[in-house]
Amino acid sequence: MSDAFRSSDDFDEQAHQLYNEGRYDDAVALLREGLSLYPHAVELHIGLAYAQLAREEYAWARRSFERALTLLLEKVEKAKLGRTDRPRRRRSIRPGTDTDVREPGLRSRHVPQEVKDAVSRRDADQCAYVSPAGKRCTERTFLEFPPCPGVCERGTGDGREHLPSLPAPQPI
């Protein structure tokens, strides 16, 4: 197989063979080469971490495992929640003809996705309710957003400063 066309899986497979043979230094070198070409390959970060553990480089292994977990979390957030570093610009329904026909003082009750993402990150995907005793709600599922961020509070309108994430009402 030509070295010029190795995939991240090829690097991982070859490094795994080196690891099984006890050639940890060679495995680390190969995995680092693979990571220079495929920096977002989770399997290469995990393989590097195991090879570093075998070499008793615990701090470096921890760093590699943490990077792998970060990449996995980003992948899951993108797949499950549609999160991205570059959100799409909202498109007009009919370019050139759309105008805002609402009164200037009234704002939409729609919560934009970028605001939901910002609030979700701020609250760590957990309910933001804090009881009078100071205990925060631990609910992380079925979270909803109030329907009128910035409208009820007459804030800036983007709702980030006032918008809590609250659990959805549960049927009794």
Give per-residue pLDDT as tens, 27-57.
Answer: 999 999 999 999 999 999 999 999 999 999 9
- Choice between 16 and 116, residue whose per-residue pLDDT is larger: 16
pLDDT value for 50: 96
- pTM tops 0.85: no
Q: What is the distance between the terminal CA atoms of the chain, rounded to a whole angstrom?
A: 62
3-state secondary structure of 144: strand
Domains of the chain: residue spans and CATH: 3-81 (1.25.40.10), 109-172 (no CATH)
| Residue whose C-alpha is closest to residue 63's, from 45, 78, 79 | 45
Which amino acid would we find at residue 66?
A: E
| Residue whose C-alpha is closest to residue 165's, from 123, 121, 118, 136 | 123
Residue 3, classified by CB atoms within 10 Å of its CB into exposed (0-12), middle (13-18) or buried (19+), is exposed
| Residue whose C-alpha is closest to residue 119's, from 162, 155, 88 | 162
Cα 92 from Cα 98, distance rounded (Å): 7
pLDDT value for 14: 94
pLDDT in tens, 113-136: 777 777 777 888 888 788 889 888
